[in-house]
């Protein structure tokens, strides 16, 4: 007789993951009770549906990141340091081939408070170390909702860093050009592209996306954003330019802004843009700017929010700092723009700069 397990809650109310040390077992957690169930159970009878063991154990898709293709400039390598913030001992796994290296001392690693860190001291050529990095594999649940930050140092110089942020099943990550284009279709709203992924062919690929899928909006991510690069990308029609390891609130703000048909830029870029604004924008706003000699029309809360916008904070950060909801922040910003007769954040910052606020 086939064994079955019954559950009181709906299927969607359970967090499901594989047992790390026993892959033929699955863990179900409803927030109160955690059940460990093996393959001997054939049917899972939830309140709203029925699932087989194979259906349940394969629900959590796994992401695998490796450092293949990472380039090293130094010819002689004396140290390697790899750090992962957000590392989860219960579900994440690492694999690498140390036999490729001739270690001067045993390598060291530590796992503490959600962080993994490995230090290797050696004397090897860059070719050998690049081969070792190509064997480095980091696996974690793609839809865990946890943010990971991976950074690699060689000879104490940073050669790679990336933030991996997952919120829900509507976000899909790919790690090579072939898979990236295979997943593009008319239902995709936004694509995020790391500048390291396409390197010299970034412009060409942006044009290809716009020509093939005109409704897709591009958010470009860079490890070290540059104002000149951002201006060039905006001219190509991208809708966002950001730091690839920025905070989660910035990502959320960027996605929402772009989905609403606007352009999202990181705060430092906006400040640099203001410094280089052409006379045309200022001239177009000149009559408006001359009409306003102060911020007296704003309420005390609106003045507070206007000052935070001037400092470069996003709506999410303003919400966190002031303790008011994101919806209320947006309502205040709309009111501020209306009262001061400015079109957007840039217009507001220009006005406040002119008023020497």
| CA 277 centroid distance within chain | 29
* pLDDT: which is higher, 198 or 98: 98
Q: What is the pLDDT of residue 59?
A: 53
284-294 per-position pLDDT tens digit:
444 444 445 67
Sheet strands (E) in 207-256: 217-222, 240-243
Lowest pLDDT segment from 16-25, 197-206, 296-305: 16-25
pLDDT value at residue 347: 79
Q: Helices 315-322 and 248-259, interaxial angle, to 10°?
A: 130
Which pLDDT score, from 0 to 100, does residue 240 have? 93
Report CA dihedral (331, 332, 334, 336) to the nearest 10 degrees: 170
Would strands 190-194 and 217-222 be described as parallel, antiparallel, or unpaired? parallel
Question: What gap in Å lies between CA 292 and CA 150, rounded to an integer?
Answer: 47
Tell me what pLDDT residue 172 has: 67
pLDDT digits (tens, 9 = 90+) for 201-234: 899 999 999 999 999 999 998 878 888 888 899 9
Q: Give strand pairing partners of 225.
A: none
Are 94 and 66 in contact by the 8 Å Cβ rule? The answer is: no
Radius of gyration of the chain, Cα coordinates, nearest whole angstrom? 25
Share of residues in the chain with pLDDT > 90 (%): 26
pLDDT of residue 162: 74
Give this prediction's pTM. Answer: 0.46
For the chain, percent of residues with pLDDT exceeding 70: 83
Region of residue 113 (left: phi > 0; alpha: psi -120 to 50; beta: else): left
- Each residue of 228-262: b (16+ CB within 10 Å) or e? ebbeebbeeebbbbbbbbbeebbbbbbbbbbeeee
Quick check: 215 and 244 in contact, CB under 8 A? no
SS3 of residue 230 by DSSP: helix
pLDDT band at 77 (very low <50, low <70, confident <90, very high): very high
Residue range 140-195, pLDDT digits in tens = 876 566 778 888 999 999 888 776 655 455 666 665 677 788 888 888 889 988 88
Lowest-pLDDT range of 76-85, 192-201, 271-280: 271-280
Highest mean pLDDT, choosing among 135-139, 146-150, 196-200:
135-139
What is residue 86's predicted lDDT score, i.e. its pLDDT? 85
**76-85 and 41-45 strand pairing:** unpaired
Residue 39 has a pLDDT of 80
Distance from C-alpha of 189 to C-alpha of 254, rounded to nearest angstrom? 13
What was the pLDDT predicted at 277?
56
Q: What is the pLDDT of residue 293?
A: 61
pLDDT tens per residue across span 241-294? 988 777 777 888 888 889 888 888 877 777 777 666 544 444 444 444 444 567
Residue 21: per-residue pLDDT: 54
Average pLDDT, the chain: 81
- Count, residues in the chain: 357
């Amino acid at each position: 007789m086939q064994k079955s397990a019954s559950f009181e809650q709906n299927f969607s109310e359970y967090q499901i993951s594989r047992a790390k040390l026993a892959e033929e077992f699955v863990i179900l957690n409803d927030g109160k009770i955690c059940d460990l169930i093996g393959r001997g159970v054939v049917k899972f009878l939830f309140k709203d549906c029925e699932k087989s063991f194979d259906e349940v154990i394969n629900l959590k898709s796994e992401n695998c990141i490796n450092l293949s293709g990472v380039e090293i400039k130094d010819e002689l390598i004396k140290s390697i340091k790899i750090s992962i913030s957000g590392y989860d001992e219960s579900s994440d796994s690492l694999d690498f081939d140390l036999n490729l290296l001739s270690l001067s001392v045993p390598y060291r690693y530590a796992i503490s408070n959600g962080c993994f860190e490995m230090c290797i001291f050696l004397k090897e050529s860059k070719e050998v170390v690049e081969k070792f990095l190509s064997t480095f594999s980091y696996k974690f649940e793609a839809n865990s909702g946890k943010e990971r930050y991976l950074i690699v140092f060689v000879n104490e110089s940073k050669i790679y860093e990336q933030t991996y942020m997952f919120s829900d099943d509507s976000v899909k990550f790919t790690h090579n050009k072939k898979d990236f284009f295979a997943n593009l279709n008319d239902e995709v709203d936004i694509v995020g592209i790391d500048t390291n992924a396409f390197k010299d062919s970034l412009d060409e690929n942006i044009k290809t996306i716009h020509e093939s899928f005109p409704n897709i909006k591009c958010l470009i991510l860079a490890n070290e954003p540059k104002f000149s690069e951002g201006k060039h990308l905006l001219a190509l029609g991208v809708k966002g330019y950001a730091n690839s390891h920025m905070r989660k609130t910035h990502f959320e703000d960027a996605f929402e802004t772009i989905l609403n048909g606007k352009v999202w830029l990181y705060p430092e870029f906006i400040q640099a843009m203001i410094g280089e604004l052409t006379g045309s924008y200022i001239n177009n706003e000149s009559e408006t700017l001359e009409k306003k000699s102060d911020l007296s029309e704003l309420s005390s809360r609106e003045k507070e929010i206007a000052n935070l916008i001037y400092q470069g904070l996003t709506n999410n950060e303003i919400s966190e700092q002031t303790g008011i909801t994101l919806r209320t922040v947006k309502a205040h910003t709309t009111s501020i723009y209306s009262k001061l007769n400015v079109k957007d954040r840039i217009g507001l910052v220009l006005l406040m700069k002119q008023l020497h606020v």
